[in-house]
Amino acid sequence: MTSQTLREARKYEEASESMIRREDRPVFHLSTRVGWMNDPNGFSVYNGTYHLFYQYHPYSSHTGPMHWGHAVSRDLLRWEYLPAALAPDSFYDRDGCFSGSGVTLADGRHLLMYTGVLRERGADGAVREVQTQCLAVGDGTDYEKYEGNPVLDEKDLPEGGSRIDFRDPKMWRREDGSYSCVVGNRSADGSGQILLYTSPDGFRWKFRSVLISNRNRFGTMWECPDFFELDGKWVLLVSPQDMLPEGFEYHNGNGTLCLIGSYDQETDTFKEEQDQSIDYGIDFYAAQTVEAPDGRRIMVGWMQNWDACGIRTPEEPWFGQMSLPRELSVRDGRLYQKPVRELEAMRKNRVAYENVPVSGEIRLDGIQGRRVDLELTVRLQEEERPYQKFALRFAQDARYRTSLSFRPHESVLKIDRKFSGSRRAIVHQRRCLVRGGGRELKLRVILDSFSAEIFVNDGEQVLSVTMYTDLSADGISFFADGQAVMDITKYDLAAE
Ligand code: FRU
């Protein structure tokens, strides 16, 4: 039975989506149908189709009581909206249906697990949000909340675990047909821990172990965990809140963290061996993965940062887009990411140049646009006047530009959206240390309307950034303060 709250949301989104012109949206990144979008949720393959749900407040371009928006795709790039899947309409989720995940049940139904949020006034008069884990079962379009909700609440927490910060369940099916899920939680020391629960059937859940504790090393609360095996290692992705900076690796505020290590399936504990940021840009958070039918592990994140949401002016009819889905692999203890190979089918109008000398600012015929795929290799030539700084500038006109600059002698790559038209005092720049030295730098840059995703040295590092510069600023130029030499290939990216 569809509730009144969900019916209203479905009616509203259908009536209002025409307010947003198609050309004002990204082309192959999923953006909110109307209003506000944050985290990816329920990323799964159901009946041969990719389903991607998202944190959704249809009624304004600001966060509000969370619904789940819903879209489907066959190629991860061309998304079709379905009616909103969940609304905050029950006594246990009245104040929001927060993030969660999806799996296919043995009987073929689609199971969603999400966090139900309920505001409660304590004896001290303060309002707190109590969080529990809840289920909904459906057919790929309509979902019925489970009568046994919530299935996990404070009774299922280990000692000292917070019932206020207990959210974002990510389920998977184990080889023996049972289910597991990881949930973010805050322990007695105030920092994050990841709890692991198991279930024989997807409905009856039991606490099993603390998979890993943060112990105040990386931020405080760990949001949106994901846990999977990849290339012989186990990978835990989390989004820590309140990070402190560490060198070029981690930055203040909301961040992303990838831990690579081993998983003891007897005790259900994880031992980390390496840590790194997932994304080194400004706008990437709450990553979630799916295993594709062909075995690829594909990740998508919210291409925004809670601390920098002010980049978009409040009058805009939509706010929030997903990152490009990325194929993951682990090599030498590092996470590698590549744009999904499906993107190659969208490439049109190839333009290529080899051994182009760059000195000062240059433009190249046929290289411009805001929906493009650029492959670029920049080389340092010691015998000439070697450059100290190389820059790729895009979303450029006489007034605006976003730049990616590289200093080979420090091996530092910087993204800078200061001149993108933003009128807010938020973070506009971020630097990262490129591993393996600076003699040759290989970049793949994907632009789609209001974003740039930069894959460095075959995906060893990625930087994602949004810039809401008017689409008429579609110039691309290259700059070197000495002598640089580059190869470049450009494709336009078009959905049709
Ligand atoms: C992360 C997050 C989640 C929560 C959701 C609420 O961005 O804070 O922890 O479930 O957003 O919209």
Q: What share of the chain is helix, strand, coil (3-state, %, to 5)?
A: 5, 55, 40
In the predicted model, what is the mean pLDDT of the chain? Answer: 96
Torsion over CA: 179, 180, 181, 186 (sign): positive
**Residue 443 backbone class (left: φ over 0; alpha: ψ -120 to 50; beta: rest):** beta
Alpha carbon distance 236, 269 (integer Å): 12
Alpha carbon distance 75, 90 (integer Å): 34
Alpha carbon distance 448, 193 (integer Å): 36
319-377 pLDDT, tens per residue?
999 999 999 999 999 999 999 999 999 999 999 999 999 999 999 999 999 999 999 99
Instruction: Find residue 327's DSSP bridge partners.
Output: 298, 338
pLDDT given for residue 437 in this prediction: 72
Q: What are phi and psi of 241, to 5 degrees?
A: -90, 160
- pTM, entire model: 0.97
Q: Which of 38, 226, 285 is the pocket-test mutation for ligand 1 (most atoms within 8 Å of CB)?
A: 38
Q: Is residue 47 predicted with pLDDT exceeding 80? A: yes
Q: Is residue 381 predicted with pLDDT exceeding 90? A: no
pLDDT given for residue 295 in this prediction: 98
pLDDT given for residue 26 in this prediction: 97
Alpha carbon distance 128, 220 (integer Å): 18
Q: Give the rounded distance of the alpha carbon of 12 from its chain centre.
A: 26
CA 318-323-327 angle, 5° bins: 160
**Residue 227 backbone class (left: φ over 0; alpha: ψ -120 to 50; beta: rest):** beta
Q: Whose CA is nearest to atom 8 of ligand 1?
A: 223
* Three-class DSSP category at 143: strand
Of residues 24, 39, 75, 279, which has the active-site annotation? 39
Alpha carbon distance 110, 132 (integer Å): 20
pLDDT given for residue 316 in this prediction: 84
Give the CB-side neighbour count of residue 358, counting CA atoms within 13 A: 28
Ligand 1 centre distance from Cα of residue 168 (Å): 7
417-471 pLDDT, tens per residue?
999 999 999 999 999 999 877 789 999 999 999 999 999 999 999 999 999 999 9
Does the CB atom of residue 66 touch ligand 1 within 6 A? yes
pLDDT given for residue 417 in this prediction: 98
Ligand 1 centre distance from Cα of residue 97 (Å): 10
Q: Are 68 and 85 in contact (CB under 8 A)?
A: yes
Q: Is residue 1 predicted with pLDDT exceeding 80? A: no
Q: Are 103 and 172 in contact (CB under 8 A)?
A: yes
Those residues with Cβ within 8 angstroms of residue 131's Cβ, 6 or more apart along the chain or in another chain: 98, 115, 116, 117, 118, 163, 164, 165, 166, 167
Output the furthest CA–CA distance in the chain (Å, rounded): 74
Q: Is residue 404 predicted with pLDDT exceeding 90? A: yes
Backbone Cα Rg of the chain: 23
Band (pLDDT 50/70/90 cuts) for residue 496 is confident
137-181 pLDDT, tens per residue?
999 999 999 999 999 999 999 999 999 999 999 999 999 999 999
pLDDT given for residue 413 in this prediction: 97
Does the CB atom of residue 93 touch ligand 1 within 6 A? no
Alpha carbon distance 439, 380 (integer Å): 5
Q: How many residues does the chain have?
A: 496
Torsion over CA: 20, 21, 22, 27 (sign): negative
Q: What are phi and psi of 148, to 5 degrees?
A: -90, 10
Does the CB atom of residue 297 touch ligand 1 within 6 A? no
Ligand 1 centre distance from Cα of residue 129 (Å): 13
280-318 pLDDT, tens per residue?
999 999 999 999 999 999 999 999 999 999 888 767 889
Q: Are 70 and 159 in contact (CB under 8 A)?
A: no
Is 474 an active-site residue?
Answer: no
Q: Is residue 106 predicted with pLDDT exceeding 90? A: yes
Alpha carbon distance 195, 237 (integer Å): 14
**Closest atom, ligand 1, to C-alpha of 285:** 7
Ligand 1 centre distance from Cα of residue 62 (Å): 14
Q: What are phi and psi of 481, to 5 degrees?
A: -85, -10
